[in-house]
Chain A
Amino acid sequence: MTAPVIATRDLGAPAEREVVRDMVRRGLVVAPIALLVGLVGWGVDGVASVALAVALVLANFALAAALLGWAARISLGLVMGVALFGFLIRLGLITAIVWGLRDQAWLEPLPFGLALIVGHLGLLIWETRHVSASLAFPGLKPEPAKELR
């Protein structure tokens, strides 16, 4: 009888990097629309606030993917720690950045907050739809070029 094999790390391709690459690409595609909404609703200050929110959302995703991908290659136990402390660190970074900029005249709270939540959830739902389809029908995985049509 052979003992069950328990993996302690994952040396496969970093799946998070692919996911984030998709999200950043889509985020950059829809960013002009969000900036336009900010411009129409709140003027130049709205554009700056929306741009900051979009940049924070994309940087947050990229940092999360980089940290988890790095940890998975070392140890699955480290993934646990990095996921939890990464969450705290990234949330702290976002808070620190926005707290530092809160007195700036150009930072409009409402468009910033809306862009942060809608951008984060919107990109996630978009990517989840793509990933769900890829997992359910691997043979029908859409090509990036076809998807942009």
Chain B
Amino acid sequence: MEITNTGLAAICYGLGAIGPGIGIGYLVGQSVQAMARQPEAAGMVRTTMFLGIAFVEALALIGFVVFFLGQG
């Protein structure tokens, strides 16, 4: 079976998306716990949670860009 560049890139992209998925799950879980325990700090927690999610997503976006460049 021949492995093409596109197939290899897609596998790498899929593997690259696992880490951010775990990171977002952990991050949001802790944030939800913080908001439930301290509702008065929810605004601050949501702001930092949103930025954290976006930072973690950058890893997945890098994976996507590598996939996009690699399948060409």
Contacts and interface: CB of A to CB of B under 8 A. Distances in A.
Interface of A: 4-8, 10, 12-16, 18-19, 60-61, 64-65, 68, 72, 76-77, 79-80, 83-84, 87-88, 90-91, 94-95, 98, 102, 109-110, 112-113, 116-117, 120-121, 124, 127-128, 131, 135
Q: How large is the interface on B (under 10, 10 to 19, 20 to 34, 35 or more residues)?
A: 35 or more
Secondary structure of the B contact surface, majority rule: helix
A125 B39 CA distance: 27
Given A64-B50, A83-B24, A102-B68, 8 more contacts: A7-B36, A10-B39, A19-B47, A19-B51, A64-B57, A68-B49, A80-B29, A83-B53
B65 A16 contact: no
A79 B49 CA distance: 11
Given A7-B42, A84-B24, A110-B69, A76 B54 contact: no
Contacts of A116: 61, 64-65
A116 B36 CA distance: 35
A72 B45 CA distance: 12
B39 A84 contact: no
Contacts of A18: 47
Interface of B: 17, 20-21, 24-25, 28-29, 31-32, 35-37, 39, 42-44, 46-51, 53-55, 57-58, 60-62, 64-65, 68-69, 72
A109 B68 contact: yes
Nearest to A81: B28
A95 B18 CA distance: 16
A120 B58 contact: yes
